[in-house]
Amino acid sequence: MSSVLHLPAVAAADPRLAPVDTVLSAAHARQQIVGAVVLVRRHGQLVHASASGWADRERQRSMSREALFRLASVSKPIVTAAAMRLVAQGLLSLDAPITDWLPDFRPALADGRRPDITLRHLLSHSAGLGYRFLDADADGPHARAGVSDGMDDSPVSLRENLQRIARVPLLFAPGTAWRYSLGVDVAGALLEAATGVPLAQVVREQVSLPLGMQDTGFHTDSPARLVTPYVTDTPQPHRLAEGEVVAPFEGSAGIRYSLARASDPVAFASAGGGMVGTADDVMRLLEALRGESRRDWLPATAVAAMARAQVGEQGPPDAPGWGFGLGFAVLDAAGPTATPQAPGSWRWGGAYGHSWFVDPARGLSVVALTNTLYEGMHGAFVEQLRDAVYAALEVSA
C-alpha cells in the first residue's frame, strides 16, 4: 500500500453544487467575504470545488485552489492528529502526567496547588489554561506574563513561551471544566520533548508526509502564494495590518496578528495557531480521519477518542449539543442545535476566517478557507454555507 494519501479522482474537473455557488455569490456581493476556497467531498468523491473572489483585492489577484492560508486554529487538529499517532505508537499516553516529559511545566491553582495535567487535558482544552486574547482586557494575566498566543511577532522560543504560560494561574482544576486555551501549544512542546526533534519535523513525519499534505507547515518559503487577510468592516472588509489587534468576541482583549510570521522560519512553532496550508491539504486530513482513505494511518480507536466529548456536555459557546473532543468540537445531540448535521459530526475553524466540518454519518467533509476574519470563522456565512451544502445534497440524492 502506498505510504502517501491519494484522494480519489472524479470525472468532472471542477464539480459544483448550485446552492453553494449561490451562497458564495451572495457573500461576495454583500462583501461578507473577500475570497474563499470551498471543497466538499461526499463518500470520498469531490462534489464541489471552487475558488472565488480575491486572494488580494487591491492587487486584483484572484483566489485559487493553490493559495496558501494562515491556518490559525485549523492547526489544532493537525497537531492533535500527530499526537494521536504517537499515542497509537506507544510513545505517549493520553492520561500520564505531562511532567514525565515537561518536568518544569507545573502551573498552579489560585490556592497554590499544582495538579497533574495530561495530554488529554491539553487537547480537549480542559487543563485549566487560558488564552491571552480571551483575557478581559489587554493587561490581563497572560499579557503581564508576556505570553504569546502564537500568531503575533513575539521573538520568544517555544520553551520560553511555555515558561511564561506556566506563570499564569490555572483557571480551574484540570478535567473539571472547559476553556479554549493554549493547551495545544503546550502539547506541541510535549511532542518535541517526547520525540527529541522539532515540532515541525514531528508533524511532517506523522501527518504531512503520510497524507501528502505537501503545502502544510509552520512557515512557507513561497510568501507570494499567501492570501491577504481582511477584517469584517463597513462598507467593505479592510486589509489587515501588520500588528493589528482584532477581538473575535465582545469582551475579549483581541488577537495581535503578524502577517510576517507565516514566512519567518525563526518564529516558534505554535501548535495551536501557527501553521500555513491549502484547502486541499486540510481536506486530506479530514478524509483520512473520517476513514475514507489511509485507514492504516491512524487506528479507528484513536479517531473515536478524538470524536468523543471529553468533559461531559461542556464545550465551546455554541448552541446546545456541541461538546469538545480532542482537537475539535463534536455534536452529541442534533435536536437542540437546529443544525442539519447528524449527531457525531465534528467542526472547528480558524481566526483568519476558516471553518470546516465532517459529518461521518453522511460521509461528508467540507472545508471553507476564507481570507476574511471573523466572518469566515463564525459569521452568518458559515451557517449559510453549511445549509447550502445540505440543501444541494438533498436535491441531488
Where in the sequence numbering do the catalytic residues fall?
73
C-alpha distance across the termini of the chain, in Å = 32
Question: Is the Cβ–Cβ distance between 85 and 296 less than 8 Å?
Answer: no
- Give the Cα separation of 188 and 183 in Å (integer): 9
Place of cell 505508537: 89
Exposure letters 256-285 (e unless 16+ CB within 10 A, then b):
bbbbebbbeeebbbbbbbbbbbbbbbbbbb
DSSP for 169-230? Answer: PPSS-TTS-----THHHHHHHHHHHHHSS-HHHHHIIIIIHHHT-TT-BSS-S-GGGBPPPE
Q: Which helix (H) or strand (E) holds 389?
A: helix 380-396
Contact indicator for 191, 82 with CB cutoff of 8 Å:
yes
Axis crossing angle, helix 183-195 with helix 75-88, rounded to the nearest 10: 40
Q: What are phi and psi of 32, to 5 degrees?
A: -70, -45
Q: How many residues does the chain have?
A: 397
